[in-house]
Amino acid sequence: MRYKVDVMYDGSGFLGWQIQPDTRTVQFEIEKVLSSMHKNEVTIMASGRTDTGVHALNQVFHFDSTLNLNEQDWIKALNGQLPNDIHILNVTKTHDTFHARFDAVSKTYVYKLNVGAYDVFNRNYVYQYNRPVDIDAFRSILNIFMGCHDFTSFNKTPLETLENQVRKIEEIELKVVNQQISVIIKGDGFLRHMIRVLVGSAIATLEGKITKEVLKDALMNPNKQSIPYIVPGCGLYLKQVDYIE
C-alpha cells in the first residue's frame, strides 16, 4: 500500500532534506523511524528537496508499506518517534502509482523578511534585512518574473544537470504584518535556489545595485553568471504542494 504524507519541519537544525553522509537531514530522520517500524529499510520520496536551513509548512512525500495501520495510527506512531522539529500533519492511502514529485502540478513558497529592528529570537526563521522597504516598488520588481520564462540566470541548477530551465510563475503576492514582509510565490516548479535568487535580485534592484532592465535582460538572455544575488535560506518556507485530485 502506498501512503501520501504531509509533513512540516523546522529546517534550522538540518542540512536540508536529502540524505547525506554523516549529517542530520529531514529524510534521514523520517526514514530511520519508518525503517525501525518495518524492521527493514524504507525509502521515502518527497515532492522536492529543501536546502540547509529551509523550512516546510507542508512538504509532501510518499512511501510504500505492508503494515496494517489506519491513517490516524500512522500519524500517532510517527509523531511519537520523530524528533520535535519534524511533525506529521496527515497520512492518507493513495493509489500505487502516485508519485510525490512527478505528480505535483504546482508549489507555493513563502520568503520572510524582517524589515524592523534585529530580532535575535527569530534569526533562524526570517531574513534579518532590518531596513525599510518600499512595498510598491518591491512588488513592481517582483512582477517582472510573472509568467513563463527561462530562469537559467536565476538559479543554481547546472545546465549540464538540467538543460530545460523554463518555468512558469503563476502568482506573486506580498503580505506585510508589523515589520515582516512575506513574499508568496506560486509556480509550476522551481529550480535550486531559484526563490532565493529571485528575492535577492529584487532586493538588489531596490537598493540600486542593478536595474529592472538588467533583470529583464537576464530573462531574455539567460546566463548563469549574470545574477549573483541570493538571500539566506533561513527565510524560506515550502508552503504548499498541489496535485490533481
- All residues at 6 or more sequence positions from 84 whose CB lies less than 8 Å from its CB, including other chains: none
pLDDT, position 68: 86
Determine phi and psi for 173, rounding to 5 degrees. Answer: -135, 140
Domains for the chain: give ranges and CATH numbers. Answer: 2-94 (3.30.70.580), 105-243 (3.30.70.660)
pLDDT, position 119: 94
Euclidean distance between CA atoms 115 and 62, whole angstroms: 38
pLDDT, position 78: 98
Euclidean distance between CA atoms 28 and 204, whole angstroms: 36
pLDDT, position 60: 99
- All residues at 6 or more sequence positions from 187 whose CB lies less than 8 Å from its CB, including other chains: 106, 107, 167, 168, 169, 170
Euclidean distance between CA atoms 18 and 199, whole angstroms: 24
Euclidean distance between CA atoms 166 and 126, whole angstroms: 28
**Separation in Å, CA 96 to CA 2, 63, 64, 99, 208:** 5, 10, 8, 9, 52
Euclidean distance between CA atoms 4 and 61, whole angstroms: 6
Q: Check 6, 10, 51, 134 and give the catalytic one.
A: 51
The segments of the chain whose pLDDT lies below 50 read none
Percent of the chain residues topping a pLDDT of 70: 100
pLDDT, position 245: 74
- What would the grid cell of residue 229 be? 544575488
For the entire predicted model, the pTM comes to: 0.96
Rg, Å, the chain Cα set:
19
Active site residue 51: yes
